[in-house]
Structure 1
Amino acid sequence: MNKLSRKLFWRLSLLVCFVFVLSFLVNEYFLPKYMLYQKKMNLAALTGEMLQKDAAALVLDKNRLEQEYQVTIVSLDFNAAAGGNANVNAFNDAVRTQLNKEGITLAKFWITADSLDKLSRHEPVYKIYDQGKLETSYLVTLLNIGQTVFLVGDFVAHSEKSLQAVNRFNLYIAVGALLLTIGLSWLIARQIVRPLTAMQKTAEAISNLDFQTSDVRTGDEIELLSRSIDEMSLKLKEAREELQRQNDNLQTFISDISHELKTPIALIKAYSSGIRDGMDDGTFLGVIHKQADEMAGLVDRLLELARMKNDPNRPEAFDFQLLFGKVAAKYAIEIRRNRLAFEVETPEGGFSRVWSDSQKVETVLDNFMSNAVKYTADGRIKASFEERGGRLTFSVRNGTDGLLPEDIDNLWQPFYVRERSRNKRLSGTGLGLSIASTLLQKLGVPFSAVAQEEEIVFTFSLPLVSSEIQSDKKTLPPE
């Protein structure tokens, strides 16, 4: 028996013992008085009814009153008791005779002269006679109504032996209740304690970072609690996996940024040593300046990435095609220089006003175009617009020499580059797509990168603004 079962057993046992002791004390000290009180109240009610009638009516109504109140009623002429002790004896004999006719024989019964005096004054007389070995008492009320004495009597059983029997029976009940308590504790251990034990083991496993679940099916609040613990375990597991992923990304980020800074630092050290040793041919300072600029540019991109995560959105209505044309114009020289085929596909008569933060969208487009220009494998780049479901979907695609699944998953990570597909002359830091994904997440718009045969397609969509809305209004577009 576990701790909870023992606790339930002892508490239920103490409750049974308390109820038994309380019942014993009540029976011993209060039950006899209560029974006598009930008898007196019954006789008082009968007396009140009898005093409202005359003697003749009471004689006729005697049988009904006896049955209704469960008493014995006898009557006799009061004049037989008038005038001294000899008449007292005669009155008592007359009363006994009437009681004997009713089948009542009393061991102890005597009506005194004082009682007769009260009757002569029409005052009621109340007496109780202990019958000794008969273990009963006889409760008597005497009334003088119209010179007819009515005796109302009722037996009151002595309760000692009855109480002993009741208390003995209660003792048997208490013993049986204790045995029942043991059985109930065992059942509770099976129906309640076992699920709690399973939940406790699950909680211990969670505290040891072993995110388990417990299949508890009780159909009550315990099952609801178990489900809450299971949900907590799953969410903690997901949070830990996400934290581990972020830690891995951080380690990769630190490794990558160290690698990116290592080369320019090494060059700066080498060329500065050459200047110190008098080996400068006039180009060393230029190389040092160029490497310093590259490191400064890298730091600026990193600061930009950190800033964008906290920069609030400033949505407005703007023409997406015009914005894209502005971005694409910056790469016209690079496209011509590298003899790239650049194609833009737009829907005929389409309306391209969207609602978003134009500065963030411009940065996203700039990074997508930069990525496409640097890494296209077949010299082709294609941008397209499509209106669908109240949104404008933009995609840019370029040729690739084949992507692995892990390449797609890592494209959005900082400093991730695929060296075999990179144009060395145009290669960058690998931060562009990471900045783009950070901004798109900040804007709350859907985006994706999908490999299709020998191409990779970057896509995102923005909510359209209806043609009736003027460009200078800051009204949210319909969803």
Structure 2
Amino acid sequence: MSKLGYKLITRITLALLAVFILTFAMNTYFLPKYFLYQKKEKLASLTAELSSVPADALDSIIPKLEQARDVTIVYTSLAQNTDDLNDRILRQLNLKGITLSKFWLSEENIALLRAGSRVNKLYDQAKLKSSFLVNFLPSGGNVLAVGESISYSKETIGIVNRFNLYIWASMLLLLIVLSALYTARIVKPLAKLNDTAKSIADLSFTHADIRTGDEIESLAGSINRMSDKLKASQQSLEARNANLRTFIADISHELKTPLSLIQAYAAGIQDGLDDGTYAEVIGRQTKHMAGMIDQLLELSRLQTEIYELMPTDFHRMLTTTIDDYRAAFRHKNMELIVDDKLPEEAWVMADSRKLESVLRNLLSNALKYAEGKWVRVAAEVQSSAVHFSILNEADTSQEAKWGQVWEPFFVMEESRSKQLSGTGLGLSITASILQKHHANYGHAAQDGTVEFYFSLGVMEL
């Protein structure tokens, strides 16, 4: 038996035993007292009712009360002496079938009754295994005795306790069997979940197939979803690590080339070989290195920097940015198509400097990598949001690679032979900024074109 099953059965057994012991103690020690208390309450209620009955009506009402309440009622005059009074009551009880071996009202009891007080007495009849509970009350010069026989509860309770013992023993056996069956139903799925958790810990992202229709099945579903997410996260991390390794190798190569040129031209200057262009080459290579380092620093800064979001006229920002790039597109003999459907003012909550950086990154990216002779920019307001998109021709045959374009350090062209292949940080910087703005963004690469887009909620002014 498993540890969980053993614990469950043990605790159920202990709980059942505790309830049995408590029941046994209540029956033995408290039930007789409670039973006597109830009888006393019954007689007290009846004597209170009799106290208001006139003396001349007692003979007619007593038989009715005896039958209705299952008690014995007798009365006699209080003017008699002690012996005659006791003898008179005892003979009346005998006539009604109540034979008492022990019965006596003392002088003190009779004095209390004559003073108008009530007296309660319990006469133990050991041979009959019963007691006789009597309430005495004075009424119109008479003393009324209202009594009821009470069987000994000790023997009855003993029988009840033994019978309960048989019942509880049977229940305990049945519960142990049912607990064993039920714990097996619980433990087996939990054992499967444990094996699944161990597999996940070993990076083997398996599923637990459990159909119990309860919380355990729900837990299995949660673990399965966790397994899927961890698998996806691991694959994403492995892809990022691969991109990082590629980036480190590539950036090392990129930095090594200008450093080698700087070193060579610096040595040429020292040897007096400078023809007047060496310093210019050194400056150009230094600027190239500084640009790469700036991009790395910008990406790092954007992850933690606090954004200052304020109302920004997106339409004005877009128009100004596009105007800055028209000359660059004409210089490359490319047509910049602008489909501007925005209203005169389109206000969004944004960090204007960083949002402008997004537009410039996307336009620069299209300017560098577009394979055709045109780039199309579109902007409009739909569903209370500004939608921006930029579309150009591109090689979309490598679908798997297009899915990684937002990842840091990723470049579509693996060979670094192209002059404009870049460091793979531009779109990562763009994604970081858009995420901080809670913008919906993405891309679509199909049928020889690639489209980058994002949307921001429009402010209601």
Normalized against structure 1, the TM-score is what? 0.73
Q: Percent identity?
A: 40
> What is the CA-CA distance between 1:255 and the residue it aligns to?
1.6
Query: Equivalences for 1:75-474 in 2 at 5 Å?
Result: 92=87, 98-106=92-100, 108-109=101-102, 111=104, 114=107, 128-140=122-134, 151-190=145-184, 192-214=186-208, 228-271=222-265, 287-309=281-303, 310=305, 312=307, 316-317=312-313, 318=316, 320-332=318-330, 334-335=331-332, 340=333, 342-347=334-339, 354-355=346-347, 359-360=353-354, 363-364=357-358, 366-368=360-362, 370-375=364-369, 377=371, 380-385=373-378, 387=380, 389=382, 391=386, 393-398=388-393, 403-412=397-406, 413-414=408-409, 416=411, 418=413, 424=419, 431-441=425-435, 444=439, 446-453=441-448, 456-460=449-453
Q: 1:449, 1:459 within 8 Å by CA — same for their partners in 2?
A: yes
Per-residue deviation, 1:95:
5.6
- What is aligned with 2:52? 52
Letter in 2 for 1:28: T
Measured in 2, the distance between the counterparts of 1:331 and 1:417 equals 22
Distance apart, 1:405 and its partner CA: 2.0
- Residue 47 of structure 1, CA deviation: 3.5
Q: Residue by residue, what CA displacement relative to the aligned partner does 1:251-282 show, whole Å, maximum 9, x if unpaired?
A: 22212211212222334445556667787777
RMSD across aligned positions (CA)? 4.5
Where does structure 2 lack aligned partners over 5 or more consecutive residues? none
Distance (whole Å) between structure 1 residues aligned to residue 110 and residue 370 of structure 2: 135
Q: Which moved more, 1:224-233 or 1:41-50?
A: 224-233
**Aligned partners of 2:205 and 2:242: how far apart in 1?**
20
Q: In structure 2, the residue corresponding to 1:61 is in which secondary structure?
A: helix
Change (3 A) 1:306 1:38: closer
**In 2, distance between residues paired with 1:422 and 1:406?**
22
Q: Deviations over 1:43-94 (max 9, x none)?
A: 4443343343343311111211212332223456788x76x97x68xx73x6
**Separation of aligned partners in 1, 2:289 and 2:71:** 117
Structure-2 separation of matches of 1:440 and 1:132: 96
Query: Residue 258 and residue 74 in structure 1: after superposition, are their counterparts in 2 closer, same or farther (change >3 A)?
Result: same
Q: 1:359 to 1:60 in 2, by over 3 A?
A: closer
Asked whether the 8 Å contact 1:381–1:397 carries over to 2, the reply is yes
Residue 171 to residue 375, structure 1, CA distance change in 2 (3 Å): closer
Match of 1:7 in 2: 7
Cα offset, 1:182, TM superposition: 0.8
CA contact (8 A) 2:243 2:410 kept: no
Question: What residue in structure 1 maps to residue 67 of structure 2?
Answer: 67
How far apart are 1:168 and its partner, in Å?
A: 1.3
Separation (CA, whole Å) in 1 of partners of 2:73 and 2:440: 101
Report how far residue 391 of structure 1 moved: 4.0
Residue deviations 1:280-328, cap 9 Å, x none?
7776665545433432333234334444554736662216344312212
- Evaluate the alpha carbon distance shift between residue 98 and residue 248 of structure 1 in structure 2; reply closer, same or farther with a 3 A threshold: same
Question: How many residues are treated as equivalent by the alignment?
Answer: 450
**Per-residue displacement from partner, 1:96-146 (whole Å, max 9, x unpaired)?**
65444433444x256578599759958777655443432223345566756
Secondary structure at 2:53 match in 1: coil
Q: Which amino acid aligns with 2:72?
A: T
Question: Which sections of structure 1, spanning at least 5 residues, go unmatched?
Answer: 465-475
Quote the Cα distance in structure 1 between the aligned partners of 2:243 and 2:199: 27
1:129-187: CA deviation from partner (whole Å, max 9, x where unpaired):
44343222334556675676655443222233223212212322331232233134225
The amino acid that maps onto 1:163 is I
